[in-house]
Amino acid sequence: MSGEHGQPLGLPAPVRRSLLAVLVVAVAVASDACDASVGDAAALAAAVKRAGSDACVGRTSTVAVTADIALAAPVHVWANASVSLVGPRAISGAGDHGLFVTRGRLALSGLRLADGAAASGGCVFVGAGGSLAASNASFVRCAAANYGGAIYASGAEVALRNVSFARTSAAYVGGAVSATTRSSVRVVDCTFEATTVTRAAAGGGALALMMSEATIVASAFLGTRSAAAGGALYVEDESNCS
């Protein structure tokens, strides 16, 4: 119950202030538990895993990457998690596995992702219902045996701003980015340089769209190459690029 001016009945002002202070501290502790600073692969994986815990679901966990990190295995962002990784540092995969698999919300800022390798999405695989937002970032030497040298999105959303791709490659489509199954891609102020697809029936040296849509604004394609169709862009039926 409340008295005049909405004040709780029977609680002196000092008690009310104490209760408010406890509430503020509790919120701060919960926030701190979800955010982290990490400097190695184990700490990064643990912080991203914690973002999917009951304590952190419903908010974005901010993870500051404080040192260059070499991953021994891909880091998974689960469907109920929202993670923001902040640099400026490098995360690499030694050329024998991907870096991130996300079905949740993953944001990258100020990071250099390098030397990832996977069947699709050499550095980042974005699964159905997931999203990737990258800004002021770079993808270097990411490679896919099938689709999406750097990024593969299936039924997902990808937003790229001031991102560079260099020497990324895929065998079939999307030397840098491949989007399929009603994915949405937005590319703003990005650079694609020396991104390639290699197979004879390949397409989209930089970007490939299959049943998906993309918006490209103020971006450059330099020396992107395909062995067959679309040295820069490959747009299949039921796709749209503007």
The structure tokens listed for 144 are 């896919």
pLDDT digits (tens, 9 = 90+) for 143-197: 999 999 999 999 999 999 999 999 999 999 999 999 999 999 999 999 999 999 9
Domain boundaries, the chain: 13-241
Predicted pLDDT of residue 17: 54
pLDDT digits over 49-66, tens only?
999 999 999 999 999 999
**pLDDT at residue number 240:** 84
| 1-39 pLDDT per residue, tens | 445 555 545 666 655 555 554 444 344 434 578 999 999
Evaluate whether 57 touches 85 at the Cβ level (below 8 Å): no
Nearest CA among 45, 106, 44 for reference residue 81:
106
Residue-wise DSSP of 2-21: B-GGGPBTT--HHHHHHHHH
pTM: 0.86
pLDDT in tens, 64-75: 999 999 999 999
- The tokens for 161 are 């701003």
